[in-house]
Structure 1
Amino acid sequence: MPSPSVVRVVSSRTVAPPPRPRERIPLTSWDAAMLSANYIQKGLLFHRPSPSSSASALSTAAGVVDHLAAALGDALVYYYPVAGRCATEQHRDQLTGAVVGCSVHIDCDGQGVEVVHAVADGVAMADIVPPDADVPRDVLAQFFQLTDAVNYGGREQPLLAVQVTDLADGVFVGLAYNHALSDGTAFWDLVNSWAALARARLGLAPAPPTPRPSFERWSPDGGAAGPAVLPCADASELVERAAPLALRERMLHFSADSLAALKERAREELLAAGDAAGAAAVTRFQALSSLLWRCITRARRLAPEQETVCRAAIDNRGRLRPELPREYFGNAIYAIGTEPARAADLLERGHGWAAAAVGRAVAAHTDAAIRARVAAWTAKPMVYTHRFFDPTGTMMGSSPRFDMYGCDFGWGRPVAARSGRANKFDGKTSLYPGREGGGSIDAELTLTPDNMAALEEIEELWAAVTPDTPEKKP
């Protein structure tokens, strides 16, 4: 395996949208709560463009970077806030003039996105996606900009930083993206629009439909959204930086057949227990969450009386009434959680019981529940920090619904999706679509070294994992 110090930067540039009237977008509760969290770090691994199948513009590594930067400029015409910066405004008491709080907004003045071209000497694609082995965290971390940056740093730092890294036989496109600007749904819409515009630039596809992201923020009363006011003179007072953790990561693949079997197993257990309603409602997501929650809990060797919770990031768009448009470009997510379960009960009551517990948490996340949480946050604003980390629970992030493998920039689909070190902790699992589609899912598990070693001995987990199949170059 190559040395961890493998990347050297070749060039850097700023990509900005065409000039337009200056605009400001207020951060509301869902956005402002993200200010102390890390940037999103997601990346796509590609084969190197083949001269026989790619346009001449992609014949060199520099040409690939030029092509991606030009297409990104096209995308920023529509997604111009991504080229902005965060800005803070103080709020004062009208009578005394004393500072009573602050709010943050996106200053859309075309400040620009950073695009970096780098080379990873001696690193091959197989080093990035080793079969049946840990994710190479030390190497992957070098494929992203803004590692350890928090979203409030978007005052001086770009809201999006792209690093295009040449490998011995491939290309890695690493994206660091400010989570206070939007959630993963909007982020992947941006990346897919960028890819479609890139294909059109090469004449490989007709011009895509004009992207129409909606930047108008949601408000509970249906009127114009005001900024979320934080109880401090400057939001930096709320920012906390977590100490680095010793962690291991594994990517586990679950085929559509494996997930169907997990779902059927949960259904049969619930029927046997007399829970016909739970059996009828069980989903693949619930079944996979149950498996991971139970196996991680067993690997941690929690005391029987210790309570544990399974949490999951959930999209509010389709749960609000009226619904938010799919094109809503902001944060619209909450973390939901099951009722606390004793570790002994979770392990003894079985797979179906845990799947139903996840299902109840999902079903309870209604329009009324969302509005109640917004009201509670407004009454007592807060930002997510490492203090919210639960060492006995599990957290399901990202989504297999994100179209990661549709991001063809003009020389083929990605081989794999990977992430950087941002927002990682023991028990964090991110779900990605499987590359073969059909409902398959890849799960990125992050655990402490001791817990990961114990997890590797749990037969229930590995009986459901689908073995890796090597990706062949087309």
Structure 2
Amino acid sequence: MVSVLSSRTVRPPPAPRPRRRIPLTTWDVPMLSANYIQKGLLFHKPAATLLSTTAHVVDHLAAALADALVHYYPVAGRFVTDQHYRGELVVGCSVSVDCDGQGVQVVHAVADEGVSMADVIPPDVDVPPVVQSFFLLDGAINYDGCDHPLLAVQVTDLADGVFVGFSYNHSLSDGTAFWGFLNAWAEIARARLLGFPTPSSRPPLLDRWSPDGGVAAPVVLPCAQVPDLIKRPSQTQTPLRERMLHFSSESLVELKERARQELLVTGDEAGAAALTRFQALASLLWRCITRARRLAPEKETTCRAAINNRGRLRPQLPTEYFGNCIYTVSTEPVRAQELLERGHGWAAAAVGRAVAAHTDAAIRERVAAWTEEPPAKNPPAYMMSWHDPCGTLMGSSPRFDMFGCDFGWGKPVAVRSGKANKVDGGTALYPCPDGGGGMDVELRLMPEHMADLEEDEEFWAVVSPDQPVSEGKL
């Protein structure tokens, strides 16, 4: 669906710093068997007075990227492994980022003739397959960062727009750091194009976190070779349907209020007072997906969500921490029939209890347990095969500044993802382009389950009409 026109390697400029290795630690290593992050931004084409062709767009992005890599130089590195010995006996292996400026891949591609922005983000239908062709490194897992770039960027020329797809190694960092890097890159690009002074934003914190506050040591995995513990996702996965759903700020407020009133009726004043819009939306998705799956009444289900540890640690880690700093939290298992009978408010409060329990002490307890006995039988991974087919999984975050990524010719009009790390019942939460406090949800389900969800009146009463794509400016 696309043709590659050019490819280049972008490296950070030479700097008077020693060659550095950054060890992968407790939160990084579990990502090694997962796929790369694949997230992309759709833009209107820039005005010819700014960038006359998409080839000039690619040159502009590459030049700004080189400047961004001055501070974010690990992004241009590669993974290396080291064996650890006791005498002559190999007792384990560790993985580190070798920061030697090996480079980021940047590709310029063109979509088939006639493919437009409207073909990429059609309203009220499934995400079209053409989106998957806008990303590099399909099928790559994070351990492949030993040989592949840790970031590969594809700039795809459309009839009336530009799609910039980022394939990014999740063992290098989490979504908070990833989007922080993209916004720093965009800020530099914007300044270069519009003639502003070079921005002086806070640099990333590259030193890895250690529970005792000292220098972080690499995780030593109990194997002679790291591939002994790696498990690649199956290449014969069941096809899923994927939809983008819009929830306006007003719709979320009403959803939260409904949950609050249900909890007050049952006497759960504490649960009602602690409710958030995220909990209300998670409850809706969890219950309606469970109903669409037609699970047996006694089948247990959970709602899990990726959660940022930075602000929950004591002392807190700054937003600029560049690495993985996430866990998944889960509700207590509940029988499918009980989940549906207890209602929206109860499910929202259950999500709230799981989030509230994720304290500094709970994080450190999980770190200690993993450090004392790294998974020899269970490989170091968040893997699709671990996903509970009866559960619901919430990923990404509406707090990520996705629509702040203005590279100089206007903000993106939509966010889309590739096919990496997709599971039945998996969702990704995005902010809305208008910044009005709504959320967009990327939802994947088995085809028969999606068909049932499309008939769910409770669900569609909350979904808002798709937002129209604004006209290009500049």
> Does TM-score exceed 0.5, indicating one fold?
yes
Within 2, Cα distance between the matches of 1:141 and 1:427?
19
Within 2, Cα distance between the matches of 1:345 and 1:386?
27
Task: Give the CA deviation at 1:437.
Answer: 1.1
**CA deviation string 1:188-231 (max 9, x = no partner):** 00000000000110125443223410010111111110001111
Task: Give the CA deviation at 1:373.
Answer: 0.5
Counterpart of 1:377? 370
Counterpart of 1:172? 163
Counterpart of 1:135? 127
Q: Letter of the 2:208 partner, please give it.
A: R
SS in structure 2 at match of 1:176? strand
Counterpart of 1:336? 329
Alignment of 1:4-83 (within 5 A): 6-20=1-15, 21-51=18-48, 54-55=49-50, 58-83=51-76
SS in structure 1 at match of 2:194? coil
Counterpart of 1:201? 192
| 1:40–1:176 Cα contact (<8 Å) kept | yes
**Residue range with higher mean Cα deviation, 174-183 or 233-242:** 233-242
Within 1, Cα distance between the matches of 2:163 and 2:195?
21
RMSD over equivalenced CA pairs, Å: 1.0
Aligned counterpart for 1:282 among listed residues 275, 281, 285: 275
Within 2, Cα distance between the matches of 1:218 and 1:142?
36
**CA deviation string 1:176-199 (max 9, x = no partner):** 000000000000000000000001
Counterpart of 2:240? 247
Q: Letter of the 1:35 partner, please give it.
A: L
Counterpart of 1:300? 293
Change (3 A) 1:326 1:469: closer
**Residue range with higher mean Cα deviation, 355-364 or 195-204:** 195-204
Aligned counterpart for 1:391 among listed residues 389, 392, 399: 389
**CA deviation string 1:398-448 (max 9, x = no partner):** 000000000111111101000000100101100000111121100000111
Within 2, Cα distance between the matches of 1:245 and 1:211?
44
**Residue range with higher mean Cα deviation, 18-27 or 65-74:** 18-27
Within 2, Cα distance between the matches of 1:232 and 1:457?
50
**CA deviation string 1:11-44 (max 9, x = no partner):** 0000000224210000001000100000000000
Task: Give the CA deviation at 1:103.
Answer: 0.4
| TM-score normalised according to structure 1 size | 0.96
Counterpart of 2:437? 439
Q: Letter of the 1:7 partner, please give it.
A: V
Task: Give the CA deviation at 1:140.
Answer: 1.1
| 1:240–1:386 Cα contact (<8 Å) kept | no
Alignment of 1:153-168 (within 5 A): 153-168=144-159
Within 1, Cα distance between the matches of 2:288 and 2:394?
14
| TM-score normalised according to structure 2 size | 0.96
Within 2, Cα distance between the matches of 1:237 and 1:398?
30
Task: Give the CA deviation at 1:376.
Answer: 1.2
Counterpart of 2:377? none
SS in structure 2 at match of 1:278? helix
| 2:384–2:421 Cα contact (<8 Å) kept | no
Within 1, Cα distance between the matches of 2:413 and 2:264?
40
Task: Give the CA deviation at 1:135.
Answer: 0.4
Aligned counterpart for 1:428 among listed residues 426, 429, 432: 426
Task: Give the CA deviation at 1:283.
Answer: 0.1
Aligned counterpart for 1:110 among listed residues 101, 108, 112: 101
Structure 2, unmatched stretches of 5+, are 375-379
Aligned counterpart for 2:228 among listed residues 217, 225, 237: 237
| 1:241–1:386 Cα contact (<8 Å) kept | no
Structure 1, unmatched stretches of 5+, are 1-5
Task: Give the CA deviation at 1:237.
Answer: 1.5
**CA deviation string 1:100-128 (max 9, x = no partner):** 11000000000000000000022110011
Task: Give the CA deviation at 1:155.
Answer: 0.4
Within 2, Cα distance between the matches of 1:219 and 1:155?
24
SS in structure 2 at match of 1:119? strand
SS in structure 2 at match of 1:43? strand
| 1:16–1:83 Cα contact (<8 Å) kept | yes
Change (3 A) 1:142 1:205: same
Counterpart of 2:415? 417
| 1:28–1:226 Cα contact (<8 Å) kept | yes
| 1:154–1:178 Cα contact (<8 Å) kept | yes
| 1:287–1:355 Cα contact (<8 Å) kept | yes
Task: Give the CA deviation at 1:387.
Answer: 2.9
**Residue range with higher mean Cα deviation, 319-328 or 198-207:** 198-207
Within 1, Cα distance between the matches of 2:344 and 2:331?
14
Within 2, Cα distance between the matches of 1:259 and 1:206?
40
